[in-house]
Chain A
C-alpha cells in the first residue's frame, strides 16, 4: 500500500478542530472571514478525502488478490490478517498505554467511501449555511467540530477512540439544532435526539469495556496466550501489545479465536459473551442509524435542524451508526450476530415499510425526507442482516448513495423553504417555473431514491434484495421450540414493497411542489437560486449518476472492506 508522507487522516480530523478554535478567536464581526475559513477547511478536507479514496481505489485489485490469498489459507488468524492487510494510511500514537488505548486511525474498504462522503456533505453544508447571520462564528465553529467528530469515528481503529469521537460529535449537534433550528420544534427535538443517541452509545461503551476485559482474560489464558504470542511474533499485532487493549484489530483476533464465544458466560447456561452483549452494542449504535423502534428521534431531529445540519445528520451521522454497528457489533461479535441478526432483520423491515408509509402521509416537505431517511436506513440494516457479500456490498453502497441523496434532498428543501417560508406541501406548487435547478435536482434525487436503474439507488438496493434471497436458505431463527427458516425471501418481498411506496411519495411530493400552477401572489419574492447554491446541487447530484453508471468505482472497494467481516461470520465460531 502506498503511503503518503503526511498523516493524512489525522490532518483530516484535526484541521476542522484547529479551524474551529481559530474561528472562535476571531472578532465577532468578521463574518466573511469566518465563512472563508470554514469553506477552505471543508475543501481541504474534501480533497484530502478524495486523495485517500482514489489512492486506495487504485490498489483495490491487488488488495483483493492478497486478501483472497490470505483467506484461502484458512488459519485461525486469517480474518484478522485479511482485515489488517486492507488498512491503509495508518497512523498510530500511544494515548493511554496503561489501559491499552492508542490513537489509531486507518481506512479500509468500508470507511474510505465514508470519508469521501463526509467531505462532500461538509463542503455542501458550509455552502448552504452561507447566510447564517446570528452568531456566525459559533455556528461554523460547532459545525466544524461536529464534522471532526464524524471523521474521527469513521477512521478510528481503536474502540475507545471511536467512542470518544462519537460522543464528541453529539454535543455540537445538540447546540446547532437547539440554537439554529426551526423555532417550533428545535429544543424538544435536539434534546430527544441527544438523549436517544447517547443512551445507545453509553450502553455500548459499557459493552465495549466488558468486551475488552473478556478479550484480555482470553489472551491471558493458556490457549489465548499462545495465540497472542504468535500474533506478536508474526507481526500481526505490534510488539508492544498488551492483552488489555481497545485496538480493533486485536479484538478482531480475539473474536476470531472464539474469545467471546465461551459458553456459560456470567454463569448462565448456554450463554456466551457475544450472545449477551451483541444486541446492546449493535442496537446501541443502530439507534443512530434510526433502527425501529428507536427511530423516533430522527424525523423530528431532521426537521428541526438547520439545513446544513440536516444534511450532515441524515447524510452522514446516520451512516455513522450503521457503520459502527457493523464495525463494533458484527465484526467483533460474529457469534452474537449469527444469533441476533435473524430477528433484528424484522425490525429493519418495519423500518423500510413503516418509514415509507409515514413519509407518504406527511404534509410537511421536510418530514417526508426525514421519514424517507428512516426507510432507507432500514435497507442498510437489512443489508447487514443478510450476512453475505452481496448484501453487505449493497448496504455499503446504500450508505454512500443515501448519504449523498438525502443531503441533496435536504439541500433542495432548504432552498425552497428559505424563499417560500413554508414547507406545507399542499400550499406549494409550480416551483419548477421559478427554481428549475432545484426542481431538477430534486427529481434526480427522487429517481435515485426510488431505485431507478442508472442511478446510485438502484446499484445499492438491488444487491441488498439479492443478498436477502441468497441468505434465505442459510439463515434460521429459533423462537422457543420452533425454527423459522427460509423467511428471508419473504422479508425481501415485503421490503421491495417499500421501494414502491417510496416511488409513490417522492412522485407525489415532486408533483405537488414543483409542478402545477405557481401562485405569484402568494410567493411574490421567490426567485431562482444563486450560483453558490447551484454548485451545491451539481456537486451532490453528480455522484448519484456517476455511481449509478459506474458502480465499479466503489463496489470492489467495499467488497474488500467487508470480506474480513464475512470471514469472521463464516469462520469465527
Chain B
C-alpha cells in the first residue's frame, strides 16, 4: 500500500466531492429560493453534474502513472471507474432535466437532493475496490431510489413501486452481503485485490465448493440489481409505478453502476488465472452469466411482446437489454476476447444511457399531454409532433440495434466479442432475440406513424430546455452510431485496458 498523499488522492474522489458540494448547494437554494424560481434547481442539478463529469474527465483523468488504489485501498482510480462515473453523471443530469417536465417533481428541492445522493452512490460504486465501499455505494445508490420511487405520494402504483423495490432491493442486498461476508470469512480481507491475492495462494487452492457458493450468492445479488431473469420480477411494476424520470434513472444509471462493479469485481476476484482444485473458477461464473443472458433475453423479449403500456414495454425491453450485456459478460470467459468483451460492455452501457434517456424523456412529454401511458394513445404522434415521433423512433431503433443509431454498434461489439470468445451460439441467439425485439419496437413506431389519433392537430407543447436536452441526446445517439464511434470505442478500450492492468 502506498503512502498517503492527500493532494494525490483527491482526484480519485473528485466526482464524489463535486456531488457533495452540489448537494449542499441545491439544499441551500431550495430553502432560499421562492417557490416561483425553484424550477431552476433542475438546471443547477443538471449543470452541476455535467460540470462534475467534465472537470473529472478533462482535468483529473487518471493516467498510467496515477491510476491505482487510493484512500487505503477503498477506491480504485482508473479509466474504467471514470468512464462509468461519467455515464452515471450524464444519466443523473438528464434525469434532472426530465424532472422539469413532471409537474409534481419540478419544484421539489428534495427530489433533486435525493437524486444527487443516488448519483453519488453510483459514482462510489463505479470506483469501489473494497467490500465495505461496494456495499456503501450500493446502498447509497438504492436507498434514495426507494424514496424517489414513491414520490408520487397519492398514487397507489407509485407507493407499490417503492414498496416492491424496497423489499426486493433489501432482499438482494442481504444476499449480496451474505456472499461478501463469506468471502471476508474465507480470506480475512475486504479489499478485492487482496482477496484475489489470497485466493491465488496455494493454501487456499482446495476450496472450490465454498467459492462456488460465494459466486452464486453474489451473482444472485447482482442479478437483482441489473434485473436479470429470473430475478427480474420487481422491474416492470417498479418501472411502471415510479415517476418516469426515476424509472429512467433506474434503468440507466443504476444499471450501469452495477455492471461496472460486476466487471471489476468478477475480473479482480475471480480472474481466468484463478484455479481452485484444478478447476478454472472464471469458467463457472461466466457460464452462469451465459445462462442468465439466455434466460434474460428470453423473458425480456417474450414478455415485452405482450405489453400495452409504453413504460412496461420499456421495462421489459430494459430486461432484454441487460441480457445482451450479459452476453458481453459471458464472453469474459475467453482470455483472447476479454478485453474486447469489457470494451463492448462499456460501449453498450454508454450508448444505452443516451438511448433510454431519450425514450423516457419523450414518454414523459407524451404522458403529460395525453394523460396516458398506453401505446395505443401514441397514435398519430407523427402528425401531431413530428419531431417527437422522430426522436422516439431514433431511440427505439437504437434499442433495436438498427443503424445509424448507436445500438447497432453496441450490439455489433457485443456479438463480436461473443464470437471471438467462441460463443457463436450465444451471439446467434442474441441476434435472433433482437429480431423479436425489433417487432415490438416497430409496433410502437407503426402506431406513431401509421395509426390515426384524435388530437392530431394539437402539437404537444415542449419547453425550450427540454427541446435542447432531447435534441442533444438524439444527436449523441446518431453520432455514437456513426462518426463518434471510434473515439468512444477508443475510450472504452482504455477503460478495459485499465481493468487488466490492475492487481
Please report A residues at the B interface, Cβ cutoff 8 Å.
24, 28, 94-99, 135, 137-138, 160, 164-165, 167-168, 170-171, 174-175, 178-179, 186-187, 190-191, 194-195, 198-199, 202-203, 205-206, 209-210, 213
The 8 A-B pairs of least Cβ separation, nearest first, read A202-B431, A209-B419, A168-B403, A179-B449, A178-B450, A164-B403, A206-B427, A96-B486
B435 cross-chain contacts in A, Cβ below 8 A: 195, 198-199, 202
Taking a contact as CB atoms under 8 Å apart, the answer to whether B431 and A205 are in contact is yes
B296 at the binding interface (Cβ < 8 Å): no
Contacts of B403 in A (CB 8 A): 164-165, 167-168
Residues of B within 8 A of A210 (CB): 419, 424
Decide if A203 touches B431 in the complex (CB within 8 Å). Answer: yes
Contacting residue for B404 out of A96, A98, A168, A202, CB 8 A: A168
Report whether A170 and B402 are in contact in the complex, using a CB–CB cutoff of 8 Å: yes
Apart from A202-B432, A206-B427, list 19 A-B contacts with CB within 8 A.
A24-B390, A95-B485, A96-B489, A97-B486, A99-B413, A99-B416, A135-B382, A160-B412, A164-B404, A167-B403, A168-B403, A175-B449, A187-B446, A191-B439, A191-B442, A191-B446, A194-B442, A195-B439, A205-B431
**In the complex, A137 Cα to B486 Cα: how many Å?**
32
Q: Are B486 and A135 in contact (CB under 8 A)?
A: no
Residue B68 is within 8 A (CB to CB) of chain A in the complex: no
Chain A residues whose CB sits within 8 angstroms of the CB of B493 once the complex forms: 98
Q: How far is the CA of A206 from the CA of B486 in the complex (A)?
A: 21
B404: shortest Cβ distance to chain A, in Å?
A: 6
Q: Are B420 and A206 in contact (CB under 8 A)?
A: no
Taking CB atoms and an 8 Å cut-off, the chain B residues in 425-474 that contact chain A are 427-428, 431-432, 434-435, 438-439, 442, 445-446, 449-450
Contact of B383 among A135, A164, A199 (CB under 8 A): A135
| Contact, CB under 8 Å: A98 / B428 | no
Q: Is B386 an interface residue (CB 8 A)?
A: yes
A137 to B390, CA, bound (A): 12
With both beta carbons as reference points, the residue of chain A lying nearest to B409 in the complex is identified as A96
How many Å lie between the Cα of A284 and that of B175 in the bound state?
Answer: 45
B69 at the interface (CB under 8 A from A): no
User: Which chain B residues border A94 with CB–CB below 8 Å?
Assistant: 486
Known A95-B485, A171-B397, A179-B450; contact A206-B445, beta-carbon cutoff 8 A: no
Q: Contact between A213 and B420 (Cβ–Cβ < 8 Å)?
A: yes
User: Which residues on the B side are within 8 Å of A187 (C-beta)?
Assistant: 446, 450
Check if B485 sits within 8 Å of A96, measured CB to CB: yes
Q: How far is the CB of B20 from chain A (nearest CB, A)?
A: 37
23 contacts between A and B (CB under 8 A): A28-B386, A96-B485, A98-B486, A98-B493, A135-B386, A138-B382, A138-B386, A138-B449, A167-B403, A168-B403, A170-B402, A174-B445, A175-B445, A179-B382, A190-B446, A191-B442, A194-B442, A198-B435, A198-B438, A202-B432, A206-B415, A206-B427, A209-B416
Query: What separation, in Å, do the CA atoms of A209 and B486 have in the docked complex?
Result: 18
Interface residues of B in 377-410 (CB under 8 A from A): 382-383, 386, 390, 397, 402-404, 408
The interface centre, meaning the residue of A187, A194, A199, A205 with most chain B CB atoms within 10 A of its CB, is A205
Contacts of A206 in B (CB 8 A): 415, 419, 424, 427-428, 431
Residue of B whose beta carbon sits closest to that of A96: B486
CB-based nearest A residue for B429 = A206
A209 to B386, CA, bound (A): 37
Assess whether A209 is in contact with B397, with CB atoms less than 8 Å apart: no
In the bound complex, residues from chain B placing their C-beta under 8 Å from that of A28 are 386
Contacts of A191 in B (CB 8 A): 439, 442, 446
Q: How far is the CB of A503 from chain B (nearest CB, A)?
A: 39
- Chain B, residue nearest A199 (CB): B435
Kindly report which residue of chain B lies nearest to residue A177, judged by CB atoms: B450
The answer to whether A167 and B402 touch across the interface, beta carbons within 8 angstroms, is yes
Residues of chain B within 8 A (CB-CB) of A178 are: 446, 449-450
* CB within 8 Å for A203 and B428 given contacts A164-B403, A191-B442: yes
**Central interface residue in B415, B420, B445, B449, by most chain A CB within 10 Å:** B449
A164, A190, A199, A209: the one within 8 Å of B427 (CB): A209
Assembly CA distance A24 to B386 (angstroms): 9
Query: What B residues does A164 contact at CB under 8 A?
Result: 403-404, 408
Task: Give the complex CA separation of A135 and B386 in angstroms.
Answer: 10
Contacts of A137 in B (CB 8 A): 386
* Complex interface: chain A residues within 8 A of B382 (CB): 135, 138, 179
A95-B486 in contact (CB<8A): yes
Interface flag for B490 (CB, 8 Å) = yes
Q: Which B-chain residue is minimally distant from A175 (CB atoms)?
A: B449
Residue numbers in B under 8 Å from A170 (CB-CB): 402
Which of A24, A179, A202, A213 has most B Cβ within 10 Å?
Answer: A202
Contact of A174 among B386, B390, B442, B490 (CB under 8 A): B442
Q: How far is the CA of A213 from the CA of B331 in the complex (A)?
A: 15
Contact in complex: B486, A186 (CB < 8 Å): no
Query: How many angstroms between the C-alpha atoms of A94 and B489 in the bound complex?
Result: 14
Q: Are B450 and A195 in contact (CB under 8 A)?
A: no
- Which of chain A's residues have a CB closer than 8 A to the CB of B490? 98
* Chain A residues with CB under 8 A of B415: 205-206, 209
